[in-house]
A and B are shown apart, each in its own frame.
Chain A
């Protein structure tokens, strides 16, 4: 064969391999979802360590992150530029946070197992006292927190495998869980709530997602070892899809509300866009997907 032809063949082959490589790389992020931003570190903020909670304030367009390993809360503007940090006694090992319509924060103190109310405007930082929780307040250790549009707090109970629903003043509203033979040792690791009041939970050990209606009745449950290795977080989006973060698989699996798998996002790994040791998943009103990874917040967007 003529050397020129060989050269041409090699070039074509290399181009083909490069194209394949690109397709493979792109397949790490699929379902029309792509990586938008990665928040890792900067000189002012320093580095993030083992973040466990994320909340996006839709009104003020601010992102709040529970930087758990650094015992602080950090905030970002709408373009995810660093704004400030809050680090004070009472928010040791912040595992999760939400903000109510009045601008008050509710933060899980992982060291004490208490919810801390932070009212920045009135300079108040105090434990939220719960009233009438079944078993008493001592029998409730929150692990994850969510809030609905009516300012009701939804908190997983690490001690009892249930979700406690309470008002922002600490008044007990109801207890949600899977009861009877269906319970099967169910323990909730994460909780989210959608605009209709449906409650989304994930059980890591049972490898199962359970969706309950606003009355706490079980609507759907799906999972198992065929689907998940180590699901740690769940989040609904506004279009009826349910996103499940699997730490050991390094993926976000997306299902419809009946549990039918749609697509998966990302893959396990240390590179940007990949998931290293993820802990928490959050979806904002603009369909942006936030994943708290080992030392970074990865933000994915759903393309139109």
Chain B
């Protein structure tokens, strides 16, 4: 039997390969020569793409026939033979720091979904939009949800979203192009007779118009928000304001508590929201004029709560498993004050408000059952973290390995 040394075989293979290569590629030409510009070459096969050249707006690399700016002609780890991941490819040319990163970022931009709004090759619309600019926003933001009320802001009805919003990034909530106190006066003349007349002579030019008006649509004339504070609804401005002035009759909180006397009691608890923020504590959460939410909240409940509870918002955002309906904070928590941990509405009975039977057939809970670690009465949150957890069933620990042994030592 002939024994062949594998090392010798490899050396022989390399020698033959290099000889053949040296013969095939003369000096100065050790790679394949492209005989046509990449565009011409690509379009010989990609006829459908070639048709796109007839469109009004072409992406510069397409126009230049520089397909290889974005695509690799041979191989790629990304779909469409892209040179990079779809999330990062566009930023090779479009500087991310130049208008694509800010404190408030449009979700498609944040997630690298440029192609949700833009066509990478060609379009008949400005800036390579996939649809007419009056329609493109409504691809995600359902038009019927925004313009379903009786009175519609004309700009919104006409799909002119960019009158108020920017599409990529902004320093302002809602991707607004200006701050709330200045954005409306871009179009609305705050000194016009019609304007001052509609506001009963009060100078509201420096006010946040959205505190009373819905920016998109409403069933109330003047696109006023859905719920109105009683004096405001009656046009009785002098109930709170000095005549003809936006100044208040009393210090803000005194003014509120003057009518809402009973409300103060709801704050006189162990845990209270009374101290939040300084100034008028009521105005931290409530709008004194109008609101689109219950209880005249300044915005959606979740948003109002998270405006102070940023760490909770972060935890929720980062958790793999969440309690349903977390956006309805008041479903479990008191909003003014509570004598229970975490401002719970009903203390240890909060969970059983919805989970009626769990406490009766699962692990024993209640005052008689003590957590051996803390000596506190066991309840649902002993094992579950309702504000989010990396574990299934929002458990505090992995149920197969860690959970039970927290108390039941082997």
Measured CB to CB, the residues of A under 8 A from B are 40-41, 47, 50, 52, 68-69, 93, 95, 110-113, 135, 139, 141, 143, 156, 158-161, 183, 185-189, 204-205, 225, 229-230, 248, 269-272, 276-277, 294-296
Assess whether B158 is interfacial by the CB under 8 Å rule. no
* CB-contact partner of B275 in A158, A272, A277, under 8 A: A158
A183 CA / B277 CA spacing, docked (Å):
10
**A residues within 8 A CB of B274?**
141, 143, 158-159
Q: Could you show 25 A-B contacts with beta carbons less than 8 Å apart?
A: A47-B375, A50-B339, A52-B270, A93-B268, A113-B268, A139-B254, A141-B274, A143-B275, A156-B275, A158-B274, A159-B275, A160-B278, A161-B278, A186-B278, A187-B275, A187-B276, A188-B275, A204-B275, A225-B311, A230-B311, A269-B373, A276-B374, A277-B341, A294-B376, A296-B375
* CB-contact partner of A271 in B310, B312, B374, under 8 A: B374
Interface size range on B against A: 20 to 34
* Interface contact B281-A159, CB-CB below 8 Å: yes
* Interface contact B268-A185, CB-CB below 8 Å: no
Assess whether B356 is interfacial by the CB under 8 Å rule. no
Q: Closest residue of chain A to B268, judged by CB?
A: A111
* Interface contact B268-A205, CB-CB below 8 Å: no
The distance from the CB of B211 to the nearest CB of chain A, in whole angstroms, is 17
The distance from the CB of B251 to the nearest CB of chain A, in whole angstroms, is 7
Q: Closest residue of chain A to B279, judged by CB?
A: A185
Assess whether B384 is interfacial by the CB under 8 Å rule. no
**B residues within 8 A CB of A294?**
341, 374, 376
* Interface contact A270-B376, CB-CB below 8 Å: yes
Question: Given A248-B311, A296-B374, are A135 and B251 neighbors across the interface (CB < 8 Å)?
Answer: yes
Assess whether B269 is interfacial by the CB under 8 Å rule. yes
Interface of B is mostly: loop
A113 CA / B376 CA spacing, docked (Å):
28
**Hey, what's the 0/1 contact readout for B243-281 against A, CB within 8 Å counting as 1?**
000000001011000000000000111101011111101
Assess whether B119 is interfacial by the CB under 8 Å rule. no
A111 CA / B264 CA spacing, docked (Å):
10
* Interface contact B311-A112, CB-CB below 8 Å: no
Q: Closest residue of chain A to B265, judged by CB?
A: A111
Q: Closest residue of chain B to A188, judged by CB?
A: B275
The distance from the CB of A272 to the nearest CB of chain B, in whole angstroms, is 8
A156 CA / B275 CA spacing, docked (Å):
9
Assess whether B17 is interfacial by the CB under 8 Å rule. no
